[in-house]
Amino acid sequence: MTKKDIIIGFVVGVIAAVFGLIFAIQIFGKSDNWGEVIQQAIASGTLTKLMSIGALLNLGAFFLFLKKNQDNRAKGVLIATLLIFIVTMIIKFFN
């Protein structure tokens, strides 16, 4: 069950980051249209900041899994967070 738990944690981490990005767009965006906010963020170079704020929800999922002694799921969340970090750095430095 180790691989299954890590995959579950990874999926939870990605979903949490997506919801966090949506929340960040809603809070910091100047429009109700998500596409328009993302285009403005890309144009102004703030998309990576929104992605980083969105990944903060992974912190809650990580510690929740640790509190419940589900270490392998916490590893999956950590892997998802590292993947989001790598994608964020790629976007930041190659855009």
Average pLDDT over every residue of 77-83: 96
> What local confidence, expressed as pLDDT, does residue 1 receive?
67
- pLDDT > 90? residue 8: yes
Q: What gap in Å lies between CA 36 and CA 53, rounded to an integer?
A: 19
Alpha-helix runs per DSSP H in the chain: 2-28, 34-44, 47-54, 57-67, 71-94
| pLDDT of amino acid 69 | 94
Q: Cα 93 to the chain's mean position, in Å?
A: 18
Residue 62 or 30, more confident = 62
Quote the mean pLDDT of the chain: 91
Spatial distance between the Cα atoms of 43 and 29, rounded to a whole number of angstroms: 13
Tokens in use for 53?
Answer: 């704020």
Q: What is the pLDDT of residues 29-56, one digit of tens each?
A: 887 788 888 888 888 888 889 899 989 9
